[in-house]
Structure 1
Amino acid sequence: MDSPLVPSLGEIAGELVTLSTSGTLWTNLEVTLTRVLLGFAAAFVVAVVLGIAMGRHTYVRRFLEPAVLLGLVTPGLVKALLCVIWFGISMVNPILAVALAAAPVLIVNITQGVREVDPHLHEMAHVYRFSAWTRLRRIWIPALAPSLFTGARLGIAMSWKVIVLVEIFGLASGVGYQLNLEFANHNVAGVLAWTVAFALVMTGIEYGILQTLERRVSRWRKESSV
C-alpha cells in the first residue's frame, strides 16, 4: 500500500535518478566531500604530531589527555552548533567542525599504536641518527599503519555525521542542506534518496580508497612474514 510516510523503493530510486540527471546530487556531494577532506586532512596532520608526542612522552600524554577525552565525549551536535555560532557561514566553519570531530579518535588510536611500537626501532633510529622526517617516513608511518587506518575509518564516520549537522544548521549548500530542504518539504523519498547516496559514498570510500591503501601499505608485513 502506498504511503507518503513509507515510500516504495521505486520512488526512492526515482528521486535518485532525478537528482543525478539534474546535477544536484553531484554538485552537493562534491561540496560536502571537499569540506570533509579538508577538515580530515587538518585533523590527520595534528593527530599524527600529537599522537606520536603523547605515545612517546608521558608528561605530554597527561597534559593533553583530558582535552582529547573531552573531544571524544562531546556530541557532534554540540561541535556543529558551536562552529556555526563562532564562524557563521564560512569555509572555516565546516573544516573546523570536521577536524574537531575526527582528531580525538585519530589521536587515541595513534597514541596507542606508538606505545606498541618495538623499542628496538627507537634504538636503531637513535644509533643511525635518523632525522625527524626519516623517522616519520621509515618508522612511524609503517609501524602505525593499522592504527592510522582504524582511526581514519572512525574519524571519517564522525566527520560525515558532523558535516551534515553543520550544513543543516549553518550552510546553504551540501548534502546536509539538501536533507534539510527535503525535510522541510515533507519529502520522505527525497530524504531517503540523499541518505542512500550518502551511504554509497561512504561505501566507496571504504572499499575503493581505504582498503586499497591499507593493502598497499601493509604489503611489506606480508612479504616479511613469508
Structure 2
Amino acid sequence: MAASAEGLAAVPRRLADGAGAALAYLWSGWGAVASLLLFCALWEWGGQYYGPLILPGPLATFERLGDMLASGLAAPELWISARRTLTGLGAAVLAGSVLGMLAGRSVTAALLSRPLVTLLLGMPPIAWLVLAMLWFGMGDATPVFTVAVACFPIVFAGAMQGARTLDGQLTDVARVYRLPWWTTLFDVHLPHVVSYLLPAWITALGISWKVVVMAELLAASDGAGAALAVSRAQLDMAGSMGWIVAVLGLLLAIEYLLLEPLKRTIERWRAADAP
C-alpha cells in the first residue's frame, strides 16, 4: 500500500516535470524564431529591391502557398516527397548507425572503412542520381536510392566516431558490478553514441530534402521537385518560392518537433552533470 501511495504521489511530480521541460523547450526556441524573422525581413528587402518578377516577397509567397494548399495541389505532392525522403533517410539511418557502430568497435574495420566513407562523401549526389536513373528508371526507386546513398556515409561516420570514443573505464565498471547487458547498452553505451548520432541524423535530414527535390526535378513526374520544375517552366516565381518554403517548413518541423525533443530527452544526463 505504501509503495502504491508513493507511486500515485509521484505522478503529479512527473507531469509537472514534463510540463516544465516542454515550456523550457518552447522558451528556448525564441532564438530560432528571431533568426527566421530576420531572414524574412532580409527577404522582404530583397523582394522590394529586385521586384516580384525576380524575387517575390514573403507575403506574396505565403499567399501563393496558401492558395496551393487550399486547392489541394500542394498536399499530395509534399506527401510524395516526404515519403521518398523519409524512406531513403530511414534506410541510411538504420544501415549507417548499425554498421558504423560495428566498425567503431573494431580498429581493423575502422581503418578499412575510412577510405570508402571518404569516397562516398566525395561523390556528388548528382552523379548518384545519374546512375540511379540508368539503373532504376523514372520511379520512386531513383530518389529513394539517391537519398539513401547520399546520407549513408554521414550517419556511418558519426556512428563509428561515437563507438570509437566510448569510455572503456565505464565499460570495465559495468563489468565489475555485473550489470545486465541491456543496462550496460542503454545506460552506458547508447547515451554516448547517440550524442554523436543525433548531429549526424540532423545533417542527413537536411541533405535528404535537398537531394530528393533535385532528384524529383530531374527524374520524376510527381513530388515537390517536379512541381517546382513546372512552376519554373511557367515562370511562376511566387509558386516556385512557395514550393521551396513548403519543403523548408517540413524540414524545420521534423527537426524541431521530432529530432530536437528526442535529443533533449536522451541527453538529459548532460544537464544533470552540468554545474
Q: TM-score, normalised by structure 1?
A: 0.89
Structure 2: which 5+ runs fail to align? Answer: 1-47
* Distance (Å, rounded) in 1 between the aligned partners of 2:258 and 2:95: 21
Partner secondary structure for residue 55 of structure 2? coil
* Distance (Å, rounded) in 2 between the aligned partners of 1:6 and 1:192: 8
Q: Greater shift after overlay, 152-161 or 139-148?
A: 139-148
Partner secondary structure for residue 53 of structure 1? helix
- Corresponding residue of 1:202: 251
Alignment partner of 1:142 out of 162, 169, 191:
191
CA offset at residue 155 of structure 1?
Answer: 0.6
- Corresponding residue of 1:42: 91
Find out whether 1:55 has 2:104 as its counterpart: yes
Q: Judging changes above 3 Å, is the alpha-carbon distance between structure 1 residues 93 and 138 closer, same or farther for their aligned structure 2 residues?
A: farther
* Distance (Å, rounded) in 2 between the aligned partners of 1:52 and 1:17: 44
* Distance (Å, rounded) in 2 between the aligned partners of 1:172 and 1:208: 30
Find out whether 1:116 has 2:165 as its counterpart: yes
Q: Judging changes above 3 Å, is the alpha-carbon distance between structure 1 residues 28 and 139 closer, same or farther for their aligned structure 2 residues?
A: farther
* Distance (Å, rounded) in 2 between the aligned partners of 1:91 and 1:54: 31
* Distance (Å, rounded) in 1 between the aligned partners of 2:231 and 2:57: 16
User: For the aligned residues, what is the CA RMSD?
Assistant: 2.2
Q: Judging changes above 3 Å, is the alpha-carbon distance between structure 1 residues 46 and 134 closer, same or farther for their aligned structure 2 residues?
A: farther
Query: How many pairs does the alignment contain?
Result: 225
- Corresponding residue of 1:176: 225
The residue correspondences of 1:1-226 to structure 2 (distance < 5 A) are 3-124=52-173, 128=178, 136-223=185-272
Q: TM-score, normalised by structure 2?
A: 0.74
* Distance (Å, rounded) in 1 between the aligned partners of 2:82 and 2:191: 27
Q: Greater shift after overlay, 42-51 or 85-94?
A: 85-94
Query: Does the 8 A contact of 1:80 with 1:163 survive in 2?
Result: no
Letter in 2 for 1:59: T
Partner secondary structure for residue 212 of structure 1? helix
CA offset at residue 99 of structure 1?
Answer: 0.9
Structure 1: which 5+ runs fail to align? Answer: none
Q: Judging changes above 3 Å, is the alpha-carbon distance between structure 1 residues 141 and 84 closer, same or farther for their aligned structure 2 residues?
A: farther
Q: Judging changes above 3 Å, is the alpha-carbon distance between structure 1 residues 140 and 89 closer, same or farther for their aligned structure 2 residues?
A: farther
* Distance (Å, rounded) in 2 between the aligned partners of 1:46 and 1:135: 22
Query: Does the 8 A contact of 1:54 with 1:111 survive in 2?
Result: yes
Letter in 1 for 2:227: Q
Q: Judging changes above 3 Å, is the alpha-carbon distance between structure 1 residues 62 and 14 closer, same or farther for their aligned structure 2 residues?
A: same
Partner secondary structure for residue 145 of structure 1? helix
Per-residue CA deviations over 1:135-172 (Å, capped at 9, x if unaligned) read 65444322212211100111111111111111111111
Q: Judging changes above 3 Å, is the alpha-carbon distance between structure 1 residues 13 and 210 closer, same or farther for their aligned structure 2 residues?
A: same
Partner secondary structure for residue 90 of structure 1? coil
Higher relative contact order (Cα pairs below 8 Å, separated by 6+ residues) = 1
* Distance (Å, rounded) in 2 between the aligned partners of 1:211 and 1:163: 22
* Distance (Å, rounded) in 2 between the aligned partners of 1:171 and 1:102: 20
| Structure possessing the higher radius of gyration over alpha carbons | 2
Partner secondary structure for residue 89 of structure 1? coil
Same amino acid, percent of matched pairs: 29
Letter in 2 for 1:77: I
